[in-house]
A and B are shown apart, each in its own frame.
Chain A
Amino acid sequence: MERLIEILQELHDDVDFYAEQGLVDDGVLDSLDIVAIVTEIDSEFGVRIPPEEIVPENFNSAEALWALISRLDEV
């Protein structure tokens, strides 16, 4: 989770990713940010996020994103 927060902060160092719950809905992350995150996750954790999982619910918070990574890692 710590490394994920670091990845997110590399994109937006002014956002509190522990608290923010509407990263997509509030417009903090745009589509280019999301692809950058997906690419970093693949590189750092070896987890490939398929396009059908790129939905706001999975990217609205660091927690949701971590849950997605954990779920995909188990499969």
Chain B
Amino acid sequence: MLFTSYEFLAFLAVVFLLYYILPKKLQWVTLLVASYAFYALAGVEYLAFIAVTTVSSFIATILMGRVSARENSYLEQNRAGLSKDEIKAYREKAKGRRFLILCLALLLNFGILAVLKYTAFAVVNINSWLHTFGAEGQLTVPSLILPLGISFYTFQTMGYLIDAYRGKAEIERNPFKLALFVSFFPQLIQGPISRFKDLGAQLTSPHAFERRNFTYGLQRILWGYFKKLVVADRVLVAINTMIDAPESYGGFYVFLLIILYSVQIYADFTGGIDITIGIAEALGIRLTENFNRPFSSRSTKEYWNRWHITMGSWFTDYIFYPLSVCRPMAKLTKGCRKIFGKNIGKRIPVYLATVITWFLTGLWHGAGWNFIVWGLLNCLIILVSRELEPLYAKFEKKFPRLHASYAYGVFMSVRTFLLMGLIRSLDCYRDVPLTFRMWGSMFTQFNIFEALGGGIEALGLGLADYIIIALGCVVMLAVSKAGKEISVRERLYDRPVLSWLCFGALFVAIILFGAYSVGYDASQFIYNQF
């Protein structure tokens, strides 16, 4: 059941109705039943996987809680008779037990994700190596099911497990309440990846109907549909034409693809998240924002603080930091300092952790070399930019007025937008050598006149479509700029006439210009497949 189907709108109406008319103590139960119904409609066979994640996480956190309780109780009773070192040793032992439980739960859940998502990819690569080395036999590539949203709910739940181990999250003692945190339907298939401390209590506490929340929620849902149906799905037609026949669309078309795919993924992903956050808001639940005007970023580092924020912070908190400061890495730092000196030695372990984190970020997006190369290219740009920082600082000192100018800011944002768009095109072609060849064609076959002489009209879109896309981009840009400090909805709330006009126009635009309009299941959201 896609967000863009009539069934989903009907489902949503029933959920809203039941949520607010049933007694408040049943609100979270309504959400749990709705979430499991939503997931079952995507595939009953998927339920087993999400249930395993929920039950294993519940048992693991309860066991960790018991170890902590026993530890505290023992120390309370025996503290007077123990030395400082004995207390420390006892604490370390208890921590070791909790760590073992954590590792087993992580192994099980990441193991399920790894087997289902990456087995076929691994087998294809093994077969390729076997072929290269002249072996005759080939392994059968398994066809495994991939439960919807497994990357998202696994990461969210493992985040909770790690937080519970670290003492940063209260342990949930009701398995059904934990099941709701794992499966909350609006965010189940494309995030945002929430933290238990931010979302857990909100999901299960009662919420009175508030007109403002409900109105804001519906407005944001409408805005999400506008981005998805009017802009993203329209652009998709031209993108598919270009990537289906790459040999016919080199040179300028690659540049066009980079621009159009950037527009499409922005409208698709932020639109999907708008719908998600809007639904939650209408239910009185505030989800973490996943975007903060990403295309205004002046550097790759800034871009990754503004784009898919919850995924970035997940990798930073649960992969990058633990990896960077673990004992083996500390030993490596000391060794590197001795060999290469302080300046270079201190960089090697940090940069190694960065490379591993970005490799995993790429792999999380999909089982393919294009995703891995995409991740590593992001890493390369970030590390090279960091090494060039002293040079930038010199430039800033030498040309302070230029550096502070608006035009220079725009130049930096455009540069970042194009750079991110360029490496993102790996996602379009899904073939690394082909992508590199297509990038090369921009330098050897760049012919803008061929495209303007009728070529772009052969991409499946008419002039009217390009005008609608351009206007859609202008509206998205204007709303993004206007909402920099205070959101447009808040600005309009006390002006009911203007508010009705604006959102009425948005609704009419969706009906008139929605590429296939709601109900035609035009296309899946891009991030559903991750």
B324 touches A35 (CB 8 A): yes
A66 CB to nearest chain B CB (Å): 18
A19 CB-CB contact with B under 8 Å: no
- Please, how many angstroms separate the alpha-carbon atoms of A38 and B353 in the complex? 14
B167 touches A35 (CB 8 A): no
Q: Which of B166, B301, B350, B386 has the most CB of A within 10 A?
A: B350
- Please, how many angstroms separate the alpha-carbon atoms of A31 and B357 in the complex? 12
Contacts of B88 in A (CB 8 A): 75
Contact of B350 (CB < 8 Å), options: A32, A43, A49, A54: A32
- Please, how many angstroms separate the alpha-carbon atoms of A30 and B333 in the complex? 19
4 extra A-B contacts, CB within 8 A, seeds A48-B325, A51-B322, A51-B325? A27-B305, A32-B350, A35-B325, A48-B330
A13 CB to nearest chain B CB (Å): 9
Q: Give the interface of B toward A (CB within 8 A).
A: 88, 166-168, 301, 305, 316-317, 320-322, 324-325, 330, 333-334, 337, 346, 349-350, 353-354, 386, 393
Within 8 A of B (CB), among A27-47: 27, 30-32, 34-36, 38-40, 42-43
> Given the interface contacts A31-B316, A32-B386, A50-B325, does A39 sit within 8 Å of B346 by beta carbon?
yes
A54 touches B321 (CB 8 A): yes
- Please, how many angstroms separate the alpha-carbon atoms of A30 and B324 in the complex? 14
- Please, how many angstroms separate the alpha-carbon atoms of A17 and B324 in the complex? 24
Residue in chain A with minimal CB distance to B333? A39
- Please, how many angstroms separate the alpha-carbon atoms of A51 and B346 in the complex? 18
B330 touches A39 (CB 8 A): yes
Contacts of B166 in A (CB 8 A): 51-52
Residue in chain A with minimal CB distance to B383? A32
A35 touches B353 (CB 8 A): yes
- Please, how many angstroms separate the alpha-carbon atoms of A43 and B168 in the complex? 27
A70 CB to nearest chain B CB (Å): 17
Q: Give the interface of A toward B (CB within 8 A).
A: 14, 27, 30-32, 34-36, 38-40, 42-43, 48-52, 54, 75
Contacts of B349 in A (CB 8 A): 39
B386 touches A35 (CB 8 A): no
B520 CB to nearest chain A CB (Å): 43
Contacts of A32 in B (CB 8 A): 350, 354, 386
B168 touches A52 (CB 8 A): yes
A35 touches B350 (CB 8 A): yes
Contacts of A39 in B (CB 8 A): 324-325, 330, 333, 346, 349-350
Contact of A38 (CB < 8 Å), options: B167, B316, B325, B386: B325
- Please, how many angstroms separate the alpha-carbon atoms of A42 and B333 in the complex? 10
A47 CB to nearest chain B CB (Å): 11
- Please, how many angstroms separate the alpha-carbon atoms of A34 and B322 in the complex? 12
Contacts of A14 in B (CB 8 A): 393
- Please, how many angstroms separate the alpha-carbon atoms of A40 and B268 in the complex? 43
Contacts of B393 in A (CB 8 A): 14
Contact of A36 (CB < 8 Å), options: B168, B301, B350: B350
Contacts of B353 in A (CB 8 A): 35
- Please, how many angstroms separate the alpha-carbon atoms of A1 and B88 in the complex? 26
A32 CB to nearest chain B CB (Å): 6
B325 touches A31 (CB 8 A): no
B346 touches A36 (CB 8 A): yes
Contacts of A75 in B (CB 8 A): 88
Subset of 12 A-B contacts with CB under 8 Å: A31-B316, A31-B320, A35-B325, A35-B353, A36-B350, A39-B324, A39-B349, A43-B333, A43-B337, A52-B168, A54-B321, A54-B325
A52 touches B167 (CB 8 A): yes
Q: Which 5 A-B pairs have the closest CB atoms?
A: A52-B166, A35-B324, A51-B322, A51-B321, A54-B321
Q: Which of A30, A31, A36, A48 has the most CB of B within 10 A?
A: A31
Contacts of B168 in A (CB 8 A): 52
Q: Which of B167, B316, B324 has the most CB of A within 10 A?
A: B324
Contacts of A27 in B (CB 8 A): 305
B409 CB to nearest chain A CB (Å): 16
- Please, how many angstroms separate the alpha-carbon atoms of A49 and B166 in the complex? 13
Residue in chain A with minimal CB distance to B354? A32
Contacts of B320 in A (CB 8 A): 31, 35
Residue in chain B with minimal CB distance to A41? B325
A69 CB to nearest chain B CB (Å): 14
A49 touches B325 (CB 8 A): yes
Q: Which of A49, A50, A51 has the most CB of B within 10 A?
A: A51
- Please, how many angstroms separate the alpha-carbon atoms of A37 and B103 in the complex? 28
Contacts of B301 in A (CB 8 A): 30
- Please, how many angstroms separate the alpha-carbon atoms of A54 and B333 in the complex? 19
Contacts of B317 in A (CB 8 A): 51, 54
